[in-house]
Chains A and B, each alone.
Chain A
Amino acid sequence: MLFNSFPFLIFFPVVTLVYYVLPYRWRWAWLLAASCFFYMWFKPIYILILLTTIIIDYSCALMIERYRGTPRKSKAWLVASIVSTLTVLFIFKYQGLFHETHIILPIGLSFHTFQSLSYVIEVYRGNQRPERHFGIYSLYVMFYPQLVTGPIERPQNLLRQLRIDQPFERDNLSRGIMLILYGLFAKMVVADNLAVYVDAIWADPQQYGSGAIALGLVFYSFQIYCDFFGYSTIALGCAKAMGYDLMDNFRAPYLSSSIGEYWRRWHISLSSWFRDYLYIPLGGSRVGVSRWMFNIMVVFLLSGLWHGANWTFVAWGGLHGLLLLAEGLPKKLCARKAQKTNHDPQCAMLSNQTSRTSPNSRFSILYIIKLPIVFLVVTALFAIFRAPSFEDLMTLFGSLVGNVGVGEMPTVDIRAVVFLLCFVVVDILLRNSRFDRWCIRQRPVVRWMVCFLLAFCTVAFASVETFPFIYFQF
């Protein structure tokens, strides 16, 4: 079921209402049934794939716990879980890398696969007790708000909350509804209206002038952000309405002053997953320079690959990795030199510079210079992400460079630009907060007005063209 559809507008209040009416002991069953229904709305048969992953990881976690005293056996169960879960992912997602395939990717496969894996790994590490209740564990994987495109939750956060009786609180419901409205606005009004322009540019870049293509690239950066941010915010809202707190997936990523900071603010649940379960186990940054470089590249190449069976994603991830290396290498080399010489004035300067541009020191001159540079770099790399193939990418960049002063300009919907500006302003104002946290602090009249405006704009100004959530394909 799509969040931006009429059925969901019925599904959400019914599920939430019945959830609160039911006694605590039955709520998990209700939510699980609702989540199954939500997932099966897309393609019912694919629930079997989800069930397979659930059974595998549920059993493996129990076996890991059983053989906790025997490290070799518990490790074997961990490996078995990882291999079998990733095999399912490979079969459905990555065959296309090597030969043409007609298998349709089950929606959200990469997301719930990673969520399952985080559970097994945390159990193996001893940070999480294995869940013996099969229904509760299934709900952890299938919890409808975040089932399809995340946020990719950790068992310490979500599984713990699923075990707690969530009493009805008016504030939770209000905040949930506010988040849903804001998410729908971001997706349906901002992202989808921009998508009309972006798709026109990508459909035939040679027809358009450089300015139009550059604008299309900038619009795509905001389209993908608002699209994914919108979904995540609606997910947060649905969960919040029932008293559950999911992790934030975005924190104003385009206000980053470095690529490193960007990755701490963009798709946080995925980047922190890679950090916790791949980067740190590989040694993280507490290793030699060459090993650290290797670690970064592995993480980013795999992060790119996670997005889909296309080499453009791998290139996108790889380039982000290289940029991160370029950003971190001077600091890393200085730290190494300082270790040898105890003090180096240049390194002290570098580290001072780094601290000045940290997220807390906003609006320094250096930050204002860096911000557009980082945004433009991220935007350029998103062109690789968006390109169906390298050939299309070359055509686009060729037109971008070659069509200076020639070519057409597609019609820009002025309302789309106005709504984008509104969204950007709100993003700047709420860069260290969240929409619902700000909203709930306002007087009731302001809250009502904000909700009314969001709902009205969503209904009256949403794009009438159909644009699926971009991250559905992953």
Chain B
Amino acid sequence: MKRVVVTLFIIAALCLSAEGIYRCFFYQHDRHAFSAPLAQMVDSVNATGADILYLGESSNHTFGLDDKDTAWISEMVARHFPRLTVRNMTHDASHGEVYYLLLRNISPDCSISTVVVTLNLRSFGIEWIASPLETVLQKRLVMLHPRPALLNRAILSFKAYDIKNVDERYQQMDSYWAAHPLPGHPSVPRWGDSLNTDSTTMPGIFVRNYGFQIDTLNNPRIRDFDRIVALARERGWNLVFNLLAEDVEWADQLVGDDLTTLMRQNADLIVGRYRRMGVTVVDNLCSLPDSLFRDRDWTTEHYVQAGRQIIADNVSQALFKFYEADYE
């Protein structure tokens, strides 16, 4: 028995030493190598701080081909507050978990007063939760998790994160649709085929992307945004959720009001939930007409210049209460 205890003690001591060695000599290199560009964004914000920190996905930086002004939404917000430092952390296909981990990695000593987090209705649906893009994203997130550094590296080494190939992701989606028999269209092309889609498949794409009901107990995004709310309270940040505009007009034309009602219900659920928690929620869901959306082969939140400006103005209006003197 004594031998076992001594052995366990030695193993524990070796684990602690290993963690120390790894953290001292290798962690920063690995964090930058495997979590790029997320780790760099966090370090950059940690180094300078910000009055307003905007977290977004591709909707922030995607612009229309005819746009004269290609400014990002976060830059357009910054124009309303020229005396404030507005920084952004933007990564394609981001969702609540990414935002939470980015914010979790912001140093408590870093001076930030307001955080604006993009809230994308589609990201609550299975098509985004099980998207094939998720494997790469999950790999990049591993080193950002608040765990011992060597454990994070072990998770990467042994591929113990949410690693699935495209077929497995599609299976995950299919089993969701089998268990939640909303009018899913199984024949609708997947992400990989999206460039070949024609207008006849668009109704199916809309149904797949918005035809769900948010289950607040089990939806992973609800959990992530709840954690963001708790973190913001802990750090004393003003928190703003920016519910992005969806192409409700086109959804109504293609599918009808069954779907748009569902979209509205889901949005109301999210808006209501987080307003009750004290978060400032900007409800942009129906704020843009179909003409201000860029993509025609998939449903996205990519807006042309005027669309981005409306979203930025709405967010700035919400920020007005925190920075009345700085608003222009």
A: residues with CB less than 8 A from B are 4-6, 9, 188, 448, 452, 455-456, 458-460, 462-464, 466
Residues in B with CB closer than 8 Å to A9 are 158
5 residue pairs of the A-B complex, CB under 8 angstroms, read A448-B14, A459-B18, A460-B150, A462-B156, A462-B158
Look across to chain B and name the residue whose beta carbon is closest to the beta carbon of A192: B157
Q: How far is the CA of A462 from the CA of B34 in the complex (A)?
A: 12
Known A-B contacts: A456-B22, A464-B139. Give 13 more (CB < 8 A).
Answer: A4-B159, A5-B160, A6-B155, A9-B158, A452-B14, A456-B18, A459-B18, A459-B150, A459-B153, A460-B30, A460-B150, A464-B34, A466-B159
Q: How far is the CA of A4 from the CA of B158 in the complex (A)?
A: 6
Contact A460 B153 (CB under 8 A): yes
| Residue in B18, B22, B34, B163 whose CB lies within 8 Å of A466 | B163
- Size class of B's contact patch? 10 to 19
Residues in B with CB closer than 8 Å to A464 are 34, 139, 156-157
Q: How far is the CA of A335 from the CA of B139 in the complex (A)?
A: 62
Q: Does B47 contact A (CB under 8 A)?
A: no
Look across to chain A and name the residue whose beta carbon is closest to the beta carbon of B3: A170
Q: Does B269 contact A (CB under 8 A)?
A: no
For the complex of A and B, the 4 pairs showing the least CB-CB separation, nearest first, are A462-B157, A6-B160, A459-B154, A464-B156
Look across to chain A and name the residue whose beta carbon is closest to the beta carbon of B34: A464
Residues in A with CB closer than 8 Å to B34 are 464
Q: How far is the CA of A459 from the CA of B14 in the complex (A)?
A: 13
Q: Does B323 contact A (CB under 8 A)?
A: no
Contact A5 B158 (CB under 8 A): yes
Look across to chain B and name the residue whose beta carbon is closest to the beta carbon of A5: B158
Residues in A with CB closer than 8 Å to B139 are 464
Q: Does B26 contact A (CB under 8 A)?
A: yes
Q: Does B277 contact A (CB under 8 A)?
A: no
Residues in A with CB closer than 8 Å to B158 are 4-6, 9, 462
Give the shortest distance, in Å, between A459 (CB) and chain B (any CB): 5
Look across to chain B and name the residue whose beta carbon is closest to the beta carbon of A444: B10
Residues in B with CB closer than 8 Å to A460 are 18, 22, 26, 30, 150, 153, 157
Chain A interface, DSSP helix/strand/loop, else mixed:
helix
Residues in A with CB closer than 8 Å to B150 are 459-460
Give the shortest distance, in Å, between A271 (CB) and chain B (any CB): 32
Q: Which of B1-51 contact A (CB under 8 A)?
A: 10, 14, 18, 21-22, 26, 30, 34
Residues in B with CB closer than 8 Å to A463 are 157
Give the shortest distance, in Å, between B236 (CB) and chain A (any CB): 36
Q: How far is the CA of A188 from the CA of B159 in the complex (A)?
A: 11
Please indicate which of the listed interface residues A4, A6, A448, A460 has the most CB atoms of chain B within 10 Å of its own CB: A460
Residues in B with CB closer than 8 Å to A5 are 158-160
Residues in B with CB closer than 8 Å to A452 are 14, 18
Look across to chain B and name the residue whose beta carbon is closest to the beta carbon of A451: B14
Look across to chain A and name the residue whose beta carbon is closest to the beta carbon of B135: A466
Contact B21 A456 (CB under 8 A): yes
Look across to chain B and name the residue whose beta carbon is closest to the beta carbon of A8: B158
Give the shortest distance, in Å, between A178 (CB) and chain B (any CB): 15
Residues in B with CB closer than 8 Å to A188 are 157
Contact A458 B157 (CB under 8 A): yes
Give the shortest distance, in Å, between A465 (CB) and chain B (any CB): 9
Give the shortest distance, in Å, between A347 (CB) and chain B (any CB): 56
Residues in A with CB closer than 8 Å to B159 are 4-5, 466
Q: How far is the CA of A458 from the CA of B157 in the complex (A)?
A: 8
Question: Mask for B259-277, Cβ within 8 A of A = 1, else 0?
Answer: 0000000000000000000
Residues in A with CB closer than 8 Å to B30 are 460
Contact B160 A459 (CB under 8 A): no
Q: How far is the CA of A462 from the CA of B155 in the complex (A)?
A: 11
Q: How far is the CA of A4 from the CA of B163 in the complex (A)?
A: 14
Look across to chain A and name the residue whose beta carbon is closest to the beta carbon of B30: A460
Q: How far is the CA of A24 from the CA of B21 in the complex (A)?
A: 43
Look across to chain B and name the residue whose beta carbon is closest to the beta carbon of A462: B157
Look across to chain A and name the residue whose beta carbon is closest to the beta carbon of B25: A460
Contact B10 A448 (CB under 8 A): yes
Residues in B with CB closer than 8 Å to A6 are 155, 158, 160
Look across to chain B and name the residue whose beta carbon is closest to the beta carbon of A464: B156
Q: How far is the CA of A5 from the CA of B157 in the complex (A)?
A: 9
Look across to chain A and name the residue whose beta carbon is closest to the beta carbon of B7: A448
Q: How far is the CA of A5 from the CA of B150 in the complex (A)?
A: 16
Give the shortest distance, in Å, between B34 (CB) and chain A (any CB): 6
Give the shortest distance, in Å, between A380 (CB) and chain B (any CB): 32
Question: Mask for B114-139, Cβ within 8 A of A = 1, else 0?
Answer: 00000000000000000000000001
